[in-house]
Every structure is written in structure tokens, then in C-alpha cells.
Structure 1
């Protein structure tokens, strides 16, 4: 079966020939695997959180990955600027620097704002800058018409309403306080982020929507042990804004499935995410509180496709063995894959301590174990 057909049968809750596979990784884990396999790949120019890097096609084929990605670019005229703390300012005026394996945000342009007017008057870069889509339509058209892979798109930059306002612009601690003490300010920040997300998706989907099978969106709502805000706060202040963004996406590209990323223990909000138009939920962190795969499948498996699930905190870490990897694949497939509705992938980005041998075993074993009918 062709990968694109495999994806569509899966999200329609039918059983394809095997469980689809996807690949999320940190840059270092990718380089370790690439070098282990002796693969040469295009040079990547890395400068910060929103820098673009390319994954080797040969490596994706070796892992039997069913998806290929296409994304909006940073505006051509943008050049990252150094900030006094050593971070680099991105196009959206936040600053980040490499800490460990991740580019962490260290400068927040809205951190000192006290008035709604300051947020409203803040100038975003122009979503309609034509350089953002330079070559993007051509790539999406090529992937759709000349390959059999499921094509996944995403915009580069404004990652969600809460994500943009809290993580990049205000700072999580201040934003969470704003939700309770200054809801007017928090709402202004979310409205500003929401309008940008709608405009960016408009530009992106009007160019490539016809070639996409899936669109990734991001908005973290959880951590390891619970939600970052109460369900009531989410439902009062966040939910209707997310719905506006996702309704607009579905209106512009009705055939495109929305793949929503949120870390953590978010089970109490899953019915709400279904309400706002989420089709596929990622990353299903199995060790987060309340994220038991069997329970999630029983409660929501007829309404959602699950994406992710493979434990990185133990199994794919330095602690886990090859046998643990096989057992983890068995567990997730048995829990999530019956009747379709499961895309096997790591439950976030593979870390550098995951050895190339374990990564290869994960994908090789999953391709065999995930064959339907499931045993």
C-alpha cells in the first residue's frame, strides 16, 4: 500500500496494510544516526529556534517513514541579530540560544508590557512577504504529484495561541499570572497571536493547501503531571480562539487533517480539542499522568487518531535496552492500533542519548509488528 493511502485509511479509522510511521528528532540524534548509516545529507544552516534544517531522503526511506514535510520559510530579508544576553533575535523579536540540545527562549519582547495598547500596537513581520513561500508551492506540488508520501505542512514561527503568547513573547510564568490577575492583557496577547496564526495559515494554505494531506499546529497545554492551566480557564479564555484558527483552516482546506501537538498530561482537555477541530493528537507521552494508551483508545479512539506514543523518557533513553524498545512497540500497537487510528512515532523528539541501533530497531520492528491484521 502507498504511504498516502496508508495515512488516509488510518485517519478514517480503517486498518491499512501496516501502522504508519513518522519521525521526530533532535538535530544531534539525527546527525548521530545519519553518520552511523554513512549517509551524506544537505548542509544545514543553523542559527536559532526557527532555523531550517533538512532531513536526508535516504534516511527517511531507511526508516520506512510515511510522511514528508513542507513548511513556510522565514522572510528572505531577515537576518538574526545578537542580543546582549548572547541569544539571537528571531523574526518575531523573541530571543533564543542553544542550551543542551534545544534552542531555548531567553528573551521575551512582551515581558515588560503592562497595557493592552502595547500589545495591540506591536508590529509583527508581514505574513504576506512573498519570500516566505519561495519554492514552497513547487515542493508541495512535487511531493503530492510525484511521490506517494503523505504530505504534512506547517507554518514556521507562530506556534499556536498560548504557545506564541506565553512561550515566545511574554514568558510562561508571567503569562500564567496574567490569565488570573490580568485576563484582559492575556486575552489581548492571545488575540494578537490568533490573528497572526490565521493570517499565516491563509498565506500558506492558499498556496499549498491543495497538495497537503495534513497540517501541523502547536499549542502546549500540559506538563508531566497535569495541565498548565485549569480546564475552566482553558474553556473560558483559550478554547474559542483555537476554534477560530482551526475552523479557518478547515474552511480553506476541508480535506486537510489537523495534527495538534501538545506536550504532557492533557487528558482532561481531549474532548475540548475534539470540539475545536483536532483530527490527530500528538505526542501521547505515555509516562505523563493520565495518558494511559489503553484508556485513551477506549475513550477517544473513535474520534481521534493518535500520533506518537513511543516512550523517550525511559525506553529510548540510555536506560532502555533493545528488548525494551521491542516491548514498547508491542505495547503501543496493541493499545492504540486496532481499527486504525494510530501513527507510530516517538512521544516527542528523539534525544541524542538514543543510540542509532535503538532508533533503527524501533522503526524496523515497528514496520514488522504493525502489519495488519495485528497479531
Structure 2
């Protein structure tokens, strides 16, 4: 069984030969892992590490930082002003510092980028190249994250958008609709490249509860996600749809299942108990993630990382429907021994039947 077969078997709720493996990490971690594998980077490094899937870039509002210049601030093609920030561990990331629709009263003067324009063509070409190069042996996950909500608040500003959703509802709905149209076109183009899975994503969870009321999510987002998922699966009926949201979003998991979601990512264990989520929804939903990156990876020992991996395998892997992965990116400053312990534990304990 090769990696692609392993992933697709798991996502069809059957047990493959072993649990598929993935791991998200920052560019700083990649730079530390690369010398251990002959200087490989990107998808080639991940395959050398034992990942069963490769993941494309995303034609979304957050993609520009990967192609931006060396300046500390820049404005992307959407009009969002970004700033590079370095955290205490030496990790680099971007923050939005100015929003093009912050003072807008309507959308008449704003034009979104063309999702099929030249700015995004390299991303679609990359997806096609991944399918051609890796798709015979590894599952290819296409990306369309920051699908609606995150794009909206990056354009409008978080505080403004949350107020709009309560007291300026026509504006909010119009903005969400324009973004949905963009995502529909971009997602269809990504599906056309031949990816096995398309993952959507908007963060609606905080550490302990949802960022907005579930009723508000249903009012604005459920039908729009349903429309996207239906269109993408119409283009390729074999396509699996994954959805990423950090934090606790348990109240809307039944809604996501109802509209056709196949895979939930990342099931952060300090926000939702993966074993309980598997018990409640595992007959209808697969899971991708679950391994703690808030405490165990950065602060634990290699043995504690191995114990965390064994725990997730024992409670989420039986019956299939599981891709072992970190519950977000492993951050700069994480001990390299902990990362290597993760891979060793995945190999040692991930064979079916799970012991």
C-alpha cells in the first residue's frame, strides 16, 4: 500500500496498513530538518520525513507574504497592509496592520483580485506539478484556506466585521457573497488540477468556545460553505473536502457534516477532546491532526511527545478516518529531539491493528 492509497483508505473510514502521517511546521523548523535529509525542502523534505501527503499553496488573501520582498511592511494585491513580526523564539510571521475596507460604507469602489489572474497562476501550476510528480504515490491536498470569514475580516478589520454581522447585516452579507464567489472560482480551478483533497478553512474557535454564536455562523456561513462544497464535489465526485478551524467548534460540527464535510482539522486537544469528538462524529467524519503543539511539542520531553502520539493513535485511529498530524504548525524554538520523537512514535505505534 503506498501513501496515497493509505490516505484515501483512511478517509473512506477503513483501516489501511498504518495510520497516515503528516506534520505541520514553520519555515524555521524546516531549515533545521533540511540538513538531516541532504538539504531537501518543501514537499521533497516532507516525503523524506515519512509524510503520506503533500500540500499545495493557496490562492487566497494570505498567500502574498510568501512572495513578498524583504521589506518589513508591504501591501498585498487585496489592499491589506502586512507587517513582518519576529517572536521571542525567532519565528517570523505576518500581521495585518491596515484593512482596505475599514472605513467603507459600501463595496462599490472595491474590486477583488481575479482568482484566475496572473498573480495566482503559479499556485495552480504548482498544484498540477504536485499531482504529476507526487500523485502516483502520495495524496495531494489542494489548499483554499481563509475561505470566507478570515478574508472578510482581513479586508474590513475584525472589530468592524463583528459589528457588521450584528448591526450592518446587509454590508456583511454582501461582503461574504463577493468572497464566496471568489472562492468558488479559485476552488474549481484547484480541483481541476487533480487534487485528492481540497481543504477549506476559517478560524471560528477560541481556546474554549466559538468566536461567534453558532446561530450567527449558521446565518452567514452554512449555506455559503454548502454551495462551495457542492460545486467542488460536482466537479470531482471522488474529491474529499477538509475543513480547518482552530479552537473549539464542536457546536457546528453536525452542520459541517450535514453540508458534506469529510475531514476536520486540526481538533486541537486543549480545546476539544479528540477521543470524545471521535466517539460522537467518527462514523461520519475523518480527523486530521490532534497532536498538541501548545504544551507537549514545545515544552515536553521526547518521551512525552511519544506518549502524546500513542494516546491519539489509541483513541482516534481505530476504525480508520484519521491522519496523524500536529494540531497546528510546530513553532520555532521547539526542540528538534521532540520532532524526531514524533516521527519515531508514528512509525513504532501507527501500524494497524492499533495496540
Residue 304 of structure 1 corresponds to 285
1:1-375 to structure 2, matched below 5 A, reads 1-35=1-35, 37=36, 39-41=38-40, 55=42, 57=44, 59-71=45-57, 87-99=73-85, 100=87, 101-114=92-105, 118-129=106-117, 132-134=120-122, 135-136=125-126, 138-143=128-133, 147-155=136-144, 159-166=146-153, 168-206=154-192, 208=193, 211-288=194-271, 291-317=272-298, 319-375=299-355
Normalization by structure 2: what TM-score? Answer: 0.90
2:54–2:141: 8 Å Cα contact kept in structure 1?
A: yes
Please report how far the alpha carbon of residue 150 of structure 1 lies from its aligned counterpart in structure 2 after TM superposition.
Answer: 0.6
Please report how far the alpha carbon of residue 342 of structure 1 lies from its aligned counterpart in structure 2 after TM superposition.
Answer: 0.7
How far apart, in 2, do the equivalents of 1:80 and 1:287 lie? Answer: 34
What's the secondary structure of 2:255's corresponding residue? helix
Please report how far the alpha carbon of residue 276 of structure 1 lies from its aligned counterpart in structure 2 after TM superposition.
Answer: 2.1
Task: Tell me the alpha carbon deviations over residues 187-229 of structure 1, each in whole angstroms, 9 at most, x when there is no partner.
Answer: 11111111111111123323x0xx2111111111111121011
How far apart, in 1, do the equivalents of 2:142 and 2:301 lie? Answer: 34
Distance 1:22 1:137, change over 3 A: closer
Please report how far the alpha carbon of residue 165 of structure 1 lies from its aligned counterpart in structure 2 after TM superposition.
Answer: 0.3
Task: Tell me the alpha carbon deviations over residues 313-360 of structure 1, each in whole angstroms, 9 at most, x when there is no partner.
Answer: 11001x211111011011111110000011000001111122221111
Normalization by structure 1: what TM-score? Answer: 0.86
Point out where structure 2 has 5 or more consecutive residues left out of the alignment. Answer: none
Task: Tell me the alpha carbon deviations over residues 19-77 of structure 1, each in whole angstroms, 9 at most, x when there is no partner.
Answer: 00112111112212224x26324xxxxxxxxxxxx6151x323321001223466999x
Please report how far the alpha carbon of residue 294 of structure 1 lies from its aligned counterpart in structure 2 after TM superposition.
Answer: 1.5
What's the secondary structure of 1:247's corresponding residue? helix
1:81–1:89: 8 Å Cα contact kept in structure 2?
A: no
Task: Tell me the alpha carbon deviations over residues 254-287 of structure 1, each in whole angstroms, 9 at most, x when there is no partner.
Answer: 1111111100011111101112221110011000
Point out where structure 1 has 5 or more consecutive residues left out of the alignment. Answer: 42-53
Task: Tell me the alpha carbon deviations over residues 150-169 of structure 1, each in whole angstroms, 9 at most, x when there is no partner.
Answer: 111124xx721111101x21
Please report how far the alpha carbon of residue 138 of structure 1 lies from its aligned counterpart in structure 2 after TM superposition.
Answer: 4.5
1:72–1:136: 8 Å Cα contact kept in structure 2?
A: no
How far apart, in 2, do the equivalents of 1:97 and 1:144 lie? Answer: 34
Please report how far the alpha carbon of residue 293 of structure 1 lies from its aligned counterpart in structure 2 after TM superposition.
Answer: 1.4
Residue 50 of structure 1 corresponds to none
Please report how far the alpha carbon of residue 143 of structure 1 lies from its aligned counterpart in structure 2 after TM superposition.
Answer: 3.0
Query: Over the residues paired in the alignment, what is the CA RMSD in angstroms?
Result: 2.3
Please report how far the alpha carbon of residue 81 of structure 1 lies from its aligned counterpart in structure 2 after TM superposition.
Answer: 8.4
How far apart, in 2, do the equivalents of 1:92 and 1:65 lie? Answer: 33
What's the secondary structure of 1:164's corresponding residue? helix
How far apart, in 1, do the equivalents of 2:209 and 2:130 lie? Answer: 37
How far apart, in 2, do the equivalents of 1:217 and 1:175 lie? Answer: 20
How far apart, in 1, do the equivalents of 2:99 and 2:69 lie? Answer: 14
2:99–2:155: 8 Å Cα contact kept in structure 1?
A: yes
Please report how far the alpha carbon of residue 144 of structure 1 lies from its aligned counterpart in structure 2 after TM superposition.
Answer: 5.3
What's the secondary structure of 1:228's corresponding residue? coil
What's the secondary structure of 1:152's corresponding residue? strand
Greater Cα shift, 24-33 or 293-302: 24-33
Distance 1:13 1:95, change over 3 A: same
